[in-house]
Structure 1
């Protein structure tokens, strides 16, 4: 089952049908003792839709926070060490990759987050920015994994590389995060063979393509969630980006007008233009 947030309410996709569930509150999805039963109740009152346009969605976030895990893939560890070498920060990334405690950081709130077919932004004071395609965990208020979505963690690599303490500025700014198109609601873990695919397109040409599998992640979703909820509460649930294993070459920086396409099946495809 997939669910989408729209201006008219929650839309539920089952099979090849779409239904509008009027009156459903987005935050309530993250606060249920029994989410499947709650969704079944919404479907009983839902209205079938003759057509549904994925290009006119709201970001699938309301009162939730977005957090992110860093250096969870070996490729990310190597890239972070390279970009921070001149600042002498490369050992931090090597050590956190091997440490018991993961790197976790605050990423976004609803007003900083966009969704499918909306524009992400580049920091004006950055000359080297890239998208980071990531599997996003959907976590309820009780620290239970209730689903997945596609995430784009926009990052200013030159700012973080200059000094690891600049990470919040490299990661957190308006339209630095994209989620969507919707949420895949499931209690089943995704298979390790699940692919994450990234394409960056410029002037009708694919200038970068890359792929990884979630089996390449060093840490499990359950481990990341457990650390995130230590001494930390999320009354309306949260999203947790799980890190990237796809890193464009050092000579590539996205530009206004580029298109970013991230696909994770069976979740969906998230497309954003760059501004």
Structure 2
């Protein structure tokens, strides 16, 4: 069972349940987290609670491609995890200008450390949904998408859903100096999530999710790579435990869990590219790429 958010015929943002046979049923809720707490108050799982609303009802006579999909949850904050896959560590080491004279880099150290790398990625105002443009930062010449599984959590740290996230990244900025990480990760429209939230109870094995990233240029496929969450070094609950430790976390926060898909080192996104990230259990998150109006050169 997936939950989507879309604009109805009155231009109101509404939720709907999407069954495994792609039938769409509008729901009388404005926010995904409301479903979670109402289900708890009723003594039901979210899945059974939703079935109580849709059983015997008529489905929406449309398919997902006909809906104006929105970001599935207005997450007050999106956090992200770094260097949780071997491929990510290799990529970070490749791009860094300080390789510690052949010794351990900071990325090697965090990959093997007890404490994971967790950083603030985005806020509600910076996060976009399906089919909205992600922007290219004007002072970077090496930018890529980072396809990731996103955990939707409550303020207590309970994982209540899974979504797809695109953690846009400037490899040259972070590579120059790890202290530039916020600038390499956070700017306007630098984070997208969607197209749906998969209820956590309906995911058989969250450590066996296939992730595929495709990048199109002039309608031609130029990058296609896949990975599986079984390659993840850390557990989801481990990442969440560090996020909520001595921290105020809000209902509906999304935690991205790191990437194992990195385009070839010579590749950088360009204006009018299109990024597709697919996890079959969740859907396809598609975003066009747009360059900002000016180009800034940092010397």
Q: Which moved more, 1:183-192 or 1:265-274?
A: 183-192
Structure 1 segments of 4+ aligned residues over 6 angstroms from their partners = 44-47
In 2, Cα distance between equivalents of 1:168 and 1:6: 31
Give the corresponding residue for 1:160: 174
Q: 1:191 Cα deviation (Å)?
A: 4.9
Q: Does 1:258 find its partner at 2:288?
A: no
Q: Does 1:207 find its partner at 2:212?
A: no
Give the corresponding residue for 1:180: 194
Aligned pairs (5 A) from 1:1-275: 1-7=1-7, 8=12, 9-14=14-19, 15-29=21-35, 31=37, 33=40, 36=46, 38-40=49-51, 42-43=53-54, 48-54=59-65, 56-86=68-98, 91-187=105-201, 188=203, 190-275=205-290
Q: 1:216 Cα deviation (Å)?
A: 0.6
Q: Which moved more, 1:250-259 or 1:30-39?
A: 30-39
TM-score normalised by the chain length of structure 2: 0.85
Task: Please report the RMSD computed on the Cα atoms of aligned residues, expressed in angstroms.
Answer: 2.2
Residue 274 of structure 1 aligns to a residue whose secondary structure is: strand
Residue 48 of structure 1 aligns to a residue whose secondary structure is: coil
Q: Between Structure 1 and Structure 2, how many residues are aligned?
A: 275
Gaps of 5+ in 1: none
Gaps of 5+ in 2: 291-299
Q: Which moved more, 1:21-30 or 1:249-258?
A: 21-30
Rg: which structure is higher?
2
Residue 269 of structure 1 aligns to a residue whose secondary structure is: strand
1:154-202 superposed Cα distances (whole Å, 9 cap, x missing partner): 0011111111011011101111011110101132453543211111111
In 1, Cα distance between equivalents of 2:28 and 2:208: 36
Q: 1:19 Cα deviation (Å)?
A: 1.2
Q: Which moved more, 1:53-62 or 1:114-123?
A: 53-62
TM-score normalised by the chain length of structure 1: 0.92
